[in-house]
Structure 1
Amino acid sequence: MKNTTDNPSQQFYIPQELLQELGKMKNTLVIGIPKERNRGEKRVALTPESVEILTSYGHHVYVESGAGLGINYSDNHYSEAGAEIVATPAEVFQADLIVKILPLLPEEALLMRPRSSVFSFVPLRQMSAETYQVLMNKRITALAYDFLKDEKLMYQPIMSAMAEIEGYASISIASDLLSNNHGGKGILLGGVAGVSPTEVVIIGAGNAGTNAARAALALGASVKVFDNNIQRLRQIQRTLGVSLFTSNFHPNVLRNAFQSADVVIGALHNDHPQHRYVIAEGLIETMKKGALIIDLRMNQGGCFETTCCLSAADPEVFEQHGVLHFCKPFISNYVARTASMAFSNLLIPVLTEIGDLGSLKAMIQYNPGLKQGVYLYSGKPVNDYISNHFNLRSNNIDIYLTAF
């Protein structure tokens, strides 16, 4: 009896029309990676390893010369990965899709092609109204990593990864600043036999707070975590064990913790941007002289009354009430290569899927988590939080998805 599988026509039952339609969906992306021009920014959106994956899919990647120097990647690393190195920002901003770390500067926004797209973080204190208006005029589609969620809308993958890195990094920074090298008290962040352990207070039991607590406990510090969400406190207790002290914001307990703390780390999760809570200046006045505050939420407005009103022109490290304040935004820049690699790992699946679906519009329609990250669609404001900051009205993105 003849084996029917020998006949190629009997092996596959996919209509020719469907094959043609699938072929139309594939699309080659032209991606631009500009150099970050904001002071102190070392991270890069895509590492050479990620670029190699994109080029192997057939996508074109333009990298501005020197873009990777902050994380010790030369132009050669990128060119060997298949990228084309361009000498000027004018060239890289002609790409269809720009992937950055920080928001566009006004002069960068002016270089973008009309109706192109840009991905970046959007800390409002670093984004200008001028940039926003240029993007609207050029009908740019803009996505903020700050609001990007997974497909089930359960968590924010990029923000969670950055919070994890910054939580760990905050303990390394605290250890350094407490040493004599930087005028600190000259104490070891941890504990040794016969010496009382350093006391670390963490405000916020989210991802950043959990990893800061884990790192501090590993060094032998005494750690206290405060949060206004009892579920997060239960979770961090289950994760890190009973040796961890947890409490809600009980005034007397919080005051006693601040009075004895050597380090206070602000990592309070911002559940409701319209109702943001901060630690009062009166509590900071009770802290020991030479103590240290590290604010991990500068991009969301700050966790403390002494840090929440700062502008970009204010110093990022200063002393107030005898307490050293460390208020640099994005402290993942202290481990910029690790941050860039983690960031790239999360961004690559998004970019390859956009190519597979044929366009960013198709991806926005298909992926509800990506849709959450869009704040401008074809120049139209579609995110209330960002639009309100610029005193503009926004609409539901679904209105424009059917029109453009």
Structure 2
Amino acid sequence: MRGGYRGRMPPESRPRLRPVHWVAVDVAVAVLLAVVDLHAVRGGVLGWLTVLAMTVPLAARRIWPVPVFAVVMVFSALAPQFEVSRDAHLVRALALYPVLLVAPRWIAAAAASVALTTTVLASLAMAEFRMAEAAWSMFNGVLFLTTAGAIAIAVRLQRRFTDSQRRYVAAQREQAAERAVTEERLRIARELHDVLAHGMSVITIQASVARHVFEQRPWEARRALETIEDSSRGSLAELRQMLTALRADPLLDPAPTLSDLEALVARTAAAGVPVEVRSRGEQRPLPAGMELSVYRIIQEALTNVVKHAGPARAEVLLWYQPESLTVEVTDDGGGSVADRRDRGGEPGHGLLGMRERVAVYGGRLDAGPLPPPGRGFRVHARLPLTARRGEGDA
């Protein structure tokens, strides 16, 4: 071969014998043993029949291991009378092997005991029960049986280990698939919550404003309706983008980024909450997944301000540090902190979603009321820029 040997062949490309090939090998071995023993046998026709009955069944030892073993044991016990004792030891070992390989443990143990007893008694009978003369024949017989038994047990254990390994790998794959489905469902739920909660909050507040001023100040009602239209269009566009991604449409619009903050701030201001955005430190590109998470955190925090803070102003701070990015959203509203939590006093779905997004990157999120004498609420998130997890952002 040109280039010489280049390593072992991969397991999946190695040639493997099929069951029909092994049966063909057994047929060849049975024919060979029969031919050899027929030339060496003494005793005429009776000896020939004994040899054929002892060797020919080996061709089917993998198909009917226990019946073949029983037939071979009976006729191999008669073989020493026709001077084919050594080949009888080999035949017994070949018949025992498939029984030890596939039969239940108690059948395998019984077969091994029968084979050992038959070997010892046949050897003694050939030497007229003189132990000294029978010792060498017994040694050969036990050696054949022990070798066959050791190989069968080793193969059986290897098969069991391989089956266990396959089951383990299959279970791991199944669990990984279930985790992937669960994570994807949670991701979609977070995205839907972020999109719908912000859009519907703006629409609800502006619809309420339009209803109250419709007769006295129709121009304000008109402006509120325009805000509702803009907010609904933006929410529909994001929903369409998500559905397109789920359908794996190649014409996929880009996910929201920090460059879309201006539009988010405009929608929030139209809902009655002026927002100031400040940046500190040297701005630099972020991984796509992290930038989307930062946008969603700011969006959810502003949505909570619109829904719960009452008349308020909000401030967004993006602080770029050498090893981290700090995102802080504060407001001076007087809404109750309990309004931002569920009925059990635990963080609502919005805060939980923000915590999950931050946790993905090994960061930390704190959310709570501002310390006295200040009033309002603060969401503070810190995300390491030396990502602990390269989740597809590279």
Q: Into which bin does the TM-score normalised by the smaller protein fall?
A: under 0.3
Larger radius of gyration: 2
What TM-score does the superposition give when structure 1 sets the normalisation length? 0.25
Which of structures 1 and 2 has the larger relative contact order (alpha carbons within 8 angstroms, sep 6+)? 1
